[in-house]
Chains A and B, each alone.
Chain A
Amino acid sequence: MTSLITLCQKELRDLSRNRSVRLLILFLAVVVVLTVLVAAADFRTKTADYNTYLAALQASGGAVTAPPPDLFPLQMLRAGMEYLEIVGSLFAVILGYGLIAKEKNNGTLQLLFTRPLGRHSFAAGKILAALIIWTAVTTALFAVITATLLIAGNAPLTGTDLIRLLIAAAHTTIYLTLWSLAALALAALTRAPATGLILALVLWLVVVLIIPQIGDTMDPDNQIPGGLFASLQIDKAHEHAVMANFTGYETARDLIEQTSLTKQYERPLFAWLGIKNQYNQQSPAFVWAGTFNHSLWLLAGFAAAITAALLAGTRDKLLRKA
């Protein structure tokens, strides 16, 4: 236990002084804040357009028909969350790879493993460090996001909104740590850590980009700009009635999407933040009921990544020559 904590402390000190890690986290923060600012500006533009339209309509003596655009502050986080989902996970892969590559390339593995460490102390120290780092980074990012929403977005946030943000942050921490641990395990299992990075990047490409992209492009409503049903002037109720005849196709599409842990992260995230319309302004109990299975799959993936990292980060695996 003592050596685990010693290893974890060393890792945290080392990472906190690593210029690349600091720059990456700063970059993530800047981009996420930018996305919120862009969303706030977008909302203001839409409101201004609406007011112009309203004034023109009133000047010409017309009656008001369209409702003004609604402001749901948490929905402004969509782009930022998508960026964390895609690029945040990529940074997590690189951080996880670095945790092993550094020890292998510096020759410090030999120094560590000629000391009386427990079988899993090395891996456990790294896992704990990755979890702490991502918890700290996610907390900081969400604090910045909340401040941006309050100050720049001028958005009123309720207590429930803050709890939703907290739940979203917890999901994000698990998702990013999971990616770091997967990369850590792969870098530990391959003799040259660079090969582990290659495999982790390929895994990232498939899970984060390719599978969700396939699922997305198979969605009939995504085939026409603005949506198929909107272009056919079919309302939501009728859309559901029509799609009820295509459950087989939809189930297959859903299964493809669900094989990606990124989707298991995105679905509860978008539900809790109200980005997905069906969950917007719904009670936490409703959101939980609709998405807990995805949260559990995400947790299962996290548990699998921890296990993989623990099993891969042992003396015999890390030091093997042939």
Chain B
Amino acid sequence: MNPWVATVGHELRSAGRERLPQLLLMIFIGMTAASAFIGSAAKATVTEVYNSAAGQGLTSAPNPFGNVPPLYYARNTVIYILLIGALLAIVLGVQSAMRDRRARTVDLVLTRRLSPASYLSAKMAGISLGLLAVLGTSALISAACISAVTGTIPAPDQLLRLTALFSVAWLFLLFFVALGMFSGIHASSYTSALLIPIVIWSVIIFVFPLLGTAVHPVSLLNPVTPPTAPQTGIFALTAALTGPLSLGEHFKHVAAILLQDPQATGTMTGGITVILAFLLAGIGSVVLTGRPSMRKEIHD
């Protein structure tokens, strides 16, 4: 068997047997399933609230939830991808790199006919395939739950959009796999290997959007996009600087368009470009790691 393919298979097998990813995976898939039902409960309540308000003559506005698309029920999934999915991806990456360093098997690998770049790219490919399987399963579960909530199977167009959402999620999460792996290769201890990418994740998800738009961290966890006023004053500058770095917001924007959120405007081009740019930078930094870095000892 080709060494590259053998490494991919080995990586898949090793990652599949680790407990932390398994635990996070269960939470992720469970929450993807729960997402549709949470959405359904919220929608039913909003409709009842509207009917009650309209019945009392308090409003003449149309029911904002009168005609929500079936994909509305998947929008919480976007947040779970951002939170649980990203952490799962980081942990997968860290564990993958740390496994070799802890067992000192990296020396065994590096004395065989495989360059560091081939080896690391094969590891990335292995995890990518595993992640693809996870997201594929989540997509199926999501479609099944939406069918259960709405009582009908989503139309082909909507299934296509759902598939597109999980495909973008795959690209988005692969960056975090690369980030975790990069940290796992370079950090001096297991604790810092986990901590560094989690800190970077928190900066990307919470701090950059805050600096650009003064939006509060917790409201970023609501799938409903906060109203975006045109940025003025200092925020015109900070938004220009941190906007392209707010990877989480770009993913949410692309997801909102794919899920036909009526509030989402604009195109997906910018968002997808940013996601791809992050991914390429992440993969590049992992694959270009040299032998000495890969052989560094860990301290805990």
Contacts and interface: CB of A to CB of B under 8 A. Distances in A.
Interface in A188-242: 194-195, 197-199, 201-202, 205-206, 209-210, 212-214, 216-218, 220, 222-226, 228, 231-234, 238, 241-242
- SS of A interface (majority): helix
A243 B192 CA distance: 47
A166 interface: no
B195 A222 contact: no
A209 to B, nearest CB: 5
A90 interface: yes
Interface in A83-139: 83, 85-87, 90, 94, 97-98, 101-102, 105
Contact of B218 (A105, A216, A234): A216
Contacts of A83: 206-207, 217
B76 to A, nearest CB: 6
B222 A216 contact: yes
Interface in A164-189: none
A217 B217 contact: no
A87 B24 CA distance: 18
B202 A101 contact: no
Interface string B277-300: 000000000000000000000001
A35 interface: yes
A217 B217 CA distance: 15
Contact of B23 (A78, A202, A246): A202
B86 to A, nearest CB: 11
Nearest to A95: B191
A217 B223 contact: yes
B29 interface: no
Given A44-B233, A233-B59, A242-B56, A216 B19 contact: no
B203 to A, nearest CB: 8
Interface in A21-40: 24, 27, 31, 34-35, 38-39
B27 A213 contact: no
Contacts of B263: 225
A228 B227 contact: no
Interface residues of A, number: 63
B232 interface: yes
Contacts of B91: 201
A218 B76 CA distance: 11
Contacts of B210: 34-35, 38, 79
Contact of A48 (B192, B207, B232): B232
A82 B218 CA distance: 6
Contacts, number: 167
Contacts of A245: 52
Nearest to B199: A27
Contacts of A195: 19
A98 B31 CA distance: 29
B6 interface: no
Contact of A214 (B38, B56, B300): B38
A223 B42 contact: yes
Given A202-B24, A224-B64, A218 B41 contact: yes
B19 A198 contact: yes
A20 interface: yes
B235 A45 contact: yes
A87 to B, nearest CB: 5
B53 A39 contact: no
B232 A20 contact: no
Given A105-B300, A205-B84, A38 B214 contact: yes
Contacts of A197: 191, 194
A197 to B, nearest CB: 7
Interface stretch (B43-51, B112-120, B124-132): B43-51
Given A217-B38, A217-B223, A228-B64, A82 B194 contact: no
B87 interface: yes
A246 B224 contact: no
B103 interface: no
A38 B239 CA distance: 12
A82 B87 CA distance: 19
B239 to A, nearest CB: 11
B69 interface: no
Given A86-B218, A206-B27, A232-B53, 16 more contacts: A38-B214, A41-B233, A44-B233, A45-B233, A48-B233, A87-B199, A101-B300, A105-B300, A197-B191, A198-B23, A199-B23, A205-B84, A209-B84, A220-B42, A232-B61, A232-B64
14 contacts: A34-B210, A42-B235, A83-B217, A87-B206, A98-B191, A198-B23, A202-B24, A210-B27, A217-B38, A222-B222, A222-B224, A225-B226, A225-B263, A228-B50
Across chains A and B, which 3 residue pairs bring their CB atoms closest together, nearest first?
A42-B214, A45-B233, A232-B59
